[in-house]
Structure formats: structure tokens, C-alpha cells
Amino acid sequence: MNLKLRVWRQHGPDESGRMVTYAVEGISPDASFLEMLDVLNEKLILDGEDPIAFDHDCREGICGMCGMMINGVAHGPERATTTCQLHMRHFADGDTIDVEPWRAAAFPVVKDLVVDRGAFDRIIQAGGYITAPTGAAPDAHATPVPKPDADAAFEAATCIGCGACVAACPNGSAMLFTAAKVGHLGLLPQGQPERGARVLNMVAAQDDAGFGGCTNAGECTTVCPKGIPLTLIGRLNSDYRKALRKS
């Protein structure tokens, strides 16, 4: 396949960037999107140009490191798919593809397509855990967990923290990310003691980080590679209201 790529190039956080056009040739339809970028980078290096910086690691859709806007869609045109698992067979020979980094004030660009998602870690630090110091745990069977709750908690816990939800949200909101963690821990009996404080603190941390507000637009769940459901946001809202009343 031969393609025309327009890629956001930005040398550093404080520099201005622009879209730069590249021609990539001879790409196998079986290559992944990142492998296509690898091929382009190999060429750029040998041509004496600066290769495109992009984050990636496991390349099997679970680490959450990769992610870019591909033709205006977070992680590209395939549903429930991370960028590393997107294959070139979903594009046509001769296509022009626009590639941009996640855009959010809370995710400043580090270089080219690499952004800093430390804000997500700070949201987790605010309460995205259960206080259970090592060694203090009772037997695993001490508290049964109804299967539907365990399954729902698991579904919420599959979030890979890639940031596609923020990137796709018209408001630049991190609500789906926060709601996934609040939902995961709030659905389990072990998560109950800290449930109220958790939701209040995590939402506050999310607001402090400069994310936008949620308007339930639902774009996040559509692009989410793990299909984290929008209902979790309702759960967060409900928990938040209850916690506010008690506090």
C-alpha cells in the first residue's frame, strides 16, 4: 500500500507544532498502524531526518501506552481497538491519513505524538485504591462477592488508562476514566469503607488537573478500546451526590 501521512510534529513542550506530510510506500496490509510508523521512521533516520516520536510498549492492546488521533478518531476507525492493534488493511491504498497527539491541557505534548498523562496517575493517587497494607488481608474467602458485582467490577477495571476518552471528549473530560475506577472499587465489598471519600477526592483531583466537565456526550465510550460503559458515569454521579450529602 502507498499512503500519504500528515503527522503532527512538535519538537518540545513549549514549541509550536505543525502537520507535516510524508509519503509511505510499500506497506503490507497486515502491518499494524505502529509498524507502518516504524517503517516510516526507519526511512526518516536513513534520510537524516528526525523520526516521529510516539509512545508504545506492549503492542498487544493492554498497556495503554499507545494512542493517537487518526483521522479525527481516537485510536482510529476500528471500534474497541488500540492503535497498536489497528491494522493497515482497514485503510485503502492511496489514503491520506491525519495523525495527531491526544489534545488536552491536562495532557501536554512532550514531543510529536507523545503526551504526558501523569494527570491520570494523580487522579488515582487521590483515592483510586483500597487501603489494604500488605499482610493485613483476611482469607480471600472471608467475604463472598456476588458474581454480578464481581463481573461488573471487572468490566470497569479493564480500563487501560490510555486517555482516548479524554482525547475524544468534546469537553476534554476525564470522567469515564475516573468513573471506571470509582465503579471498580465501589462495586466490591472491600471498597465500601472508602467509597465516599474516594469519589469526592478523585473528582476534585480530576478538576484540579484541568480536565473539562462531563456533558454525557458519550464519545468516550465509543472510542474506548475496552468499551468501558457510560453507565459508570451515572454510578459516579450517584456516589458523588450521596457522599456530598454525608460530608
Partner 1 sequence: MELYREGEPIRDEVAPDGPVETRWDRRKFAAKLVNPSNRRKLTVIVVGTGLAGGSAAATLAEAGYHVRSYCYQDSPRRAHSIAAQGGINAAKNYRNDGDSIYRLFYDTVKGGDFRSRESNVYRLAQVSANIIDQCVAQGVPFAREYGGLLDNRSFGGAQVSRTFYARGQTGQQLLLGAYQAMERQIAAGRIEMNARHEMLELIVVDGRARGIVVRDLVTGEVTTDFADAVVLASGGYGNVFFLSTNAKGCNVTATWRAHRKGALFANPCFTQIHPTCIPESGTHQSKLTLMSESLRNDGRVWVPQRAGDTRAPGDIPEDERDYYLERIYPAFGNLVPRDIASRAAKNVCDEGRGVGPGGLGVYLDFADAIGRLGRHAIEEKYGNLFEMYQRITGEDPYRVPMRIYPAVHYTMGGLWVDYDLQSTIPGLFVIGEANFSDHGANRLGASALMQGLADGYFVLPNTISDYLAAGPFDRLTEDHPAVAEAREAVTDRLARLLAVDGDRTVDSFHRELGHIMWEYCGMERTEEGLTKALGLVRGLRDEFWTRVKVPGTGEELNQNLEKAGRVADFFELAELMCVDALHRRESCGGHFRAESQTPDGEALRHDDEFSYVAAWEYAAEMPVLHKEPLDFEYVHPSTRSYK
Partner 2 sequence: MATTGILLVLFLYVHMAGNLKIFFGATPFDHYAHWLRTIGEPLLPQQWYLWIQRTVLTVAVIGHIAAATILARRARRARPVRYAHRPKVQGSYAARTMRWGGVIILLFVVYHILDLTTGTLNPVGSPGHPYANVVADFAPHRWYVTLFYALAVVAVGAHLRHGIFSAARTLGQRGARGEHVARVTALVLSIVLVAGFLSVPFAVITGLVN
Which range, of 42-50, 55-63, 140-148, 207-215, touches partner 2 by CB under 8 A? 207-215
Out of 173, 181, 184, 205, the only residue in the binding site for partner 2 (CB under 8 A) is 173
Selected binder of partner 1 within 20, 23, 25, 129 (CB under 8 A): 129
Does residue 105 bind partner 2 (CB under 8 A)?
yes
**Which of partner 1, partner 2, none binds 243 (CB below 5-8 Å, type-dependent)?**
none
Scanning residues 44 to 83, which ones bind partner 1 (CB under 8 A)? Answer: 44-46, 48-51, 53, 55-65, 78, 81
Is there binding between residue 34 and partner 1 (CB under 8 A)?
yes
Q: Does 171 bind partner 2 (CB under 8 A)?
A: yes
In the shown chain, the binding pattern of residues 64 to 83 toward partner 2, with x for contact by CB under 8 A and - for none, equals -----x-xxx----------
Q: Is 115 in the site for partner 2 (CB under 8 A)?
A: no
Range 80-83 contact pairs with CB under 8 angstroms and sequence separation of 24 or more: 80/224, 80/225, 80/226, 80/227, 81/225, 82/160, 82/162, 82/225, 83/33, 83/34, 83/56
92 binding partner (options partner 2, partner 1, none; Cβ < 5 to 8 Å by kind): none
Rule CB under 8 A: say whether 216 interacts with partner 2.
Answer: yes
- Pick between residue 27 and residue 233 the one whose CB is nearest to partner 2: 233
Q: Is 8 in the site for partner 2 (CB under 8 A)?
A: yes
Angular region, 81: left φ>0, alpha ψ -120 to 50, beta rest? beta
Residue 230, contacted partner among partner 1, partner 2, none, CB below 5-8 A by kind = partner 2
35 binds partner 1 (CB under 8 A): yes
Q: How many residues interact with partner 2 (rule CB under 8 A)?
A: 39
**Rounded to whole angstroms, how far apart are CA atoms 124 and 129?**
7
Q: Out of partner 1, partner 2, none, which partner does residue 203 contact, by CB within 5 to 8 A per kind?
A: none
Binding site for partner 2 (CB under 8 A): 6, 8, 19, 69, 71-73, 98, 100, 103-106, 168, 170-173, 210-213, 215-219, 222-223, 229-235, 237-238, 241
